[in-house]
Amino acid sequence: MTPSPPADGMARKGRGATFAPHNRFAPTTSEAEDDGWWREEAPASLATEVREERTRSALSWNTSPDLPFDRSLNPYRGCEHGCIYCYARPSHAYWDLSPGLDFETKLIARSGLVERLREELCKPGYVCRPINLSGNTDCYQPIEAELGTTRAVLELLLECRHPVTLVTKSALILRDRDLLAALAERRLVRVMVSLTSLDRELKRALEPRAASPSARLKVIRRLREAGVPVGTLVAPVIPGLTDQELERLLEAAREAGATTAGWMLLRLPHEVAPLFEAWLETHYPERAGRVMSLMRQCRGGETYDARFGHRMRGEGVFADLLEQRFRVACRRLEFNTPAGADAMGLDTGAFRPPRAQGDLFG
């Protein structure tokens, strides 16, 4: 059973979630009751808190047939971008935090990550394949500007000639254009820039602290100018809210210099469904019913279908139409051609294990 939002759920400046659902792993829950004597008003804004977690292992591994990579690395848990639809929100419950407001205001920075990664890359029998950055939360979210963990990871990967893929919706990635260009010269990097909407007002509510649409298109343009292979990921496509922009998003990305493209349907696992529905009722109440009706049409009558092969694309007439529109637009715009795919191909043969910490003679 998914938790219901409280009656006083409200929009807060710079935040996506309108409430904090219970941690589903907690043995007990509490609920505030108005006894008529005193009611504390919820703050209109919430500050960001960052705590440290000492990293025990750097790489996360998966065997999902839906993903084009088998390993990923996430410098941060939680994400200040505050995207209301983020499929990673439920993971915050594992840290005894709420997938709602806590996910975007109580962040966890993984200290010692680069040292652990160095150790893992040095292990005998390690087989080099691309590492994906931002498999869970954006590695270029605002706290990266201060902590610089993502840049340190890229420096290590360049040192040992290890390929890497990145997905981001942040303009902060341009800070590391020098490293990305050096990696690109050796066919060791490709970047996907996530686009959701060209509507600034919709983006501001949907992804409060992520870069603007124009800033993301600038990222594509600047990276392409630096020789970095770059594509776009139109994700998530939200039926009844952003799906009408599918072709325009692809056109804008192509004009900016993207050569490959992909798309994903909105995913609403666990607590994300009630969070998203509450967000709809707060920001777009006139569209809420239609959006959720279309989502259920794409998910076999439910808000989510976690099956491999279905979770990224959905099923049914509406989902099939989205796929057809995407393919037609890609053919027209010459996305995903053999030449473009070759340019995104990465070299796994140049990898050389990094020197271990303290190894002065390696």
Which is more confident, 351 or 32?
A: 351
H-helix or E-strand containing 262? Answer: strand 261-265
Residue 338: what pLDDT? 78
Give the 3-state secondary structure of residue 195.
strand
Give the Cα separation of 323 and 16 in Å (integer): 28
Give 170's contacts (C-beta < 8 A, 6+ positions apart). 81, 138, 140, 141, 142, 144, 210, 211, 219
Amino acid present at 1: M
Q: Report the distance separating Cα 294 and Cα 359, nearest Å.
A: 58
Handedness of CA 38, 41, 47, 48 (dihedral sign): positive
Q: Write out pLDDT tens, residues 246-300.
A: 999 999 999 999 999 999 999 999 999 999 999 999 999 999 999 999 999 999 9
Q: What is residue 13's predicted lDDT score, i.e. its pLDDT?
A: 79
Residue 334 confidence (pLDDT): 96
Q: Helices in the chain by DSSP H: which ranges? A: 101-105, 113-121, 144-147, 149-159, 177-185, 200-206, 213-225, 246-256, 272-283, 285-298, 317-333, 338-344
| Percentage of the chain lying above the pLDDT 90 cut | 78
Question: Residue range 349-362: average pLDDT?
Answer: 70
Positive or negative, the Cα torsion across 307, 308, 314, 317? Answer: negative
pLDDT at 26: 64
The C-alpha atoms of residue 207 and residue 82 are separated, in whole angstroms, by 6
* Cβ–Cβ under 8 Å, residues 250 and 256: no
Please state, in angstroms and as integers, the Cα–Cα distance from residue 94 to each residue in 5, 326, 336, following that order.
20, 36, 38
Mean pLDDT estimate for the chain: 90
Tell me how crowded residue 197 is: count the other CB atoms within 10 A of its CB. 21
Answer yes or no: is pLDDT of 360 > 50: no
Amino acid residing at 323: E
**Average pLDDT in the 317-336 region?**
97
pLDDT of residue 309: 85
Reduce the DSSP state of residue 257 to 3 states and report it.
coil
Give me the CATH topology for the region 49-344.
pyruvate-formate lyase- activating enzyme (3.80.30)
Given the structure tokens 């709602």, which residue do they identify? Answer: 100
Give the model confidence (pLDDT) of 191-246 as tens digits: 999 999 999 999 999 999 999 999 999 999 999 999 999 999 999 999 999 999 99
- Give the pTM: 0.89
